[in-house]
Amino acid sequence: MRYPFGLVLDTVKHVAAKKLQGERRFPLMLWLDPLGKSSGTCRGNNDACNGAPMLSVDDCIAAMKECRTPIVSLYGGEPLRYPEIATLTRTILETGRHLFLCTDGTLIRQRLHMIPPYTNFFWDVKLDGTQNVHDALANRPGLFAEAIDGIKAAKNAGFFVVVSSSVCPKTDVGDLVELYDHLHALHVDGYFLLPHYPHQKLCRDGNAQFHKQMHAKFREASERLGDFNLLISPIYLEYLRGERELDCSVWAGPVRAPMGWSSPCSFVNSGYANTYKDLLDKTLWENYGRGLNPCCENCQCYDGYETSALLGMNPKAGDLWKLLTWQLSGGLGERRNGARRI
C-alpha cells in the first residue's frame, strides 16, 4: 500500500458520498495555518509569532466542522511553535481525521511526547536535498542534521514519517536520489515532490521556458525516483511532466488562516472569505487557473492540481485503474526494487 488503507478508504467514501449528493465543488483536504505564516500575516520564528494573530484551537475545530474533510494538514511556518499544538493535534486526531503536520523537523524531538503515535498521524518533514544542499537553500547551517535527528526519533517512537521536497528548474535530481537512499535506510514512509511556484511574473517566453524546464525535471524525477514510495498520483505526475492538462481545483484544498479563508488560495491571495461557503459561492473561480489569470501561469501546486487528479476532474480512460495500481504497488517505508515506475 502506498498510503495506509484507512486513509484511502475514508477518502474514497468521502468523495463517493459528495458525488452521489450531486455536489460540484467540495473539500478534500483542509489546510490549517494556525500561525498565519502562509498568508504573510506573521514573520519570523518566535514562539508567539511576534504577537501576530493566531487561530485558537476553537477556531480550528470550527473550521473543521465548517469544511468537513477526511484529511487535515497543519502548516505555515513551523506549526510546532504553536502554543497549543498538543491540544490541537490530539483534538483533530480524536475526531478520526487523518492529520499531516508539516515541519522543518528541528522541534520533533522536543514535542514528541505531546502526541501519541496514532495510525492516522503523519510527520511531514521538509527536506530539499542532502545536508549541504538543504542547509544552503534554507541558509541555516545544521538544519539538515536536526531534521534527521527528529526523523529518527519519530520513527523509533512508531510514527509515520513522510518527507516533502520542492522541485525547481535548478534541482539536482541526483542529490534527491542520494537523499532518499539515506531516508530509506531510516524507514521513511513516503515522499512528496512539490513543484516550485515563482511568485514573480514572467513574460510569455519566460513562462514557456519555465514550464519546459519543469516538465523535463519531473520526467527525470519520475525515472530516477520511481522506485521510492512517491506520494503523488500518476495522473498528477503526468501533468507535471507535461503529458496532460488538468484544471485547478484549489477549492478542494482550502486554507484557513487567522484572517479567514484565503481567497482563492494562499499563493494568489486576493483577500479572505468569512466562511468556507462564502469562499465557494463568492469566488469567481472562472477567473483563476492557467490561461485565466497571470498570477496562475506558473502554478502547478499540489492542492490545486493533485486534487483535480484525485477527484477525476479531467478524466481519461484508464485513470481509475492507474490510481488503483499505483496505490497497491506502493510500500510504506520500503524501496521497491524493480517496481513499476510511475
C-alpha cell at 67: 469544511
Contacts of 16 (CB under 8 A, 6+ apart): none
163 part of a folded domain: yes
109 part of a folded domain: yes
87 part of a folded domain: yes
List the domain range (segments joined by +) for residue 84: 5-329
Question: Shortest CA distance to 30 belongs to which of 114, 107, 110, 92?
Answer: 92
pLDDT score of 52: 63
* pTM strictly above 0.95: no
Identify the H or E element spanning 208: helix 204-225
| Residue 306 to residue 250: CA distance in whole angstroms | 9
144 part of a folded domain: yes
pLDDT score of 199: 73
Structural domains of the chain, count: 1
What is the domain-level CATH number for residue 230? 3.80.30.10
Provide the CA 71 distance to its chain's centre, in angstroms.
11
Question: Is residue 180 a contact partner of residue 228, using CB atoms and an 8 Å limit?
Answer: yes
Question: Is residue 130 a contact partner of residue 173, using CB atoms and an 8 Å limit?
Answer: no
Amino acid at 288: Y
324 part of a folded domain: yes
Q: Which residues of 280-315 are buried (b: 16+ CB within 10 A; e: fewer)?
A: beebebeebbbeebebbbbbbbbbbbbbbbbbeebe
C-alpha cell at 91: 483534538
Provide the CA 210 distance to its chain's centre, in angstroms.
22
Tens of pLDDT along the chain (342 residues) come to 899 999 999 999 999 999 999 999 999 999 999 999 874 433 333 343 445 689 999 999 999 999 999 999 999 999 999 999 999 999 999 999 999 999 999 999 999 999 988 999 999 999 999 999 999 999 999 999 999 999 999 999 999 999 999 999 999 999 999 999 999 999 999 999 999 988 777 777 888 999 999 999 999 999 999 999 999 999 999 999 999 999 999 999 999 999 999 999 988 878 899 999 999 999 999 999 888 888 899 999 999 999 999 999 999 999 999 999 999 998 887 664 543 334
337 part of a folded domain: no
48 part of a folded domain: yes
First and final C-alpha spacing in the chain: 15
| Residue 230: DSSP 8-state | B
Which residue spans within the chain are E strands per DSSP?
29-32, 71-74, 98-103, 121-126, 160-167, 190-195, 255-257, 260-264, 269-273
| Residue 24 to residue 318: CA distance in whole angstroms | 22
Contacts of 52 (CB under 8 A, 6+ apart): 35, 36, 41, 42, 43, 258
334 part of a folded domain: no
| Residue 303 to residue 125: CA distance in whole angstroms | 17
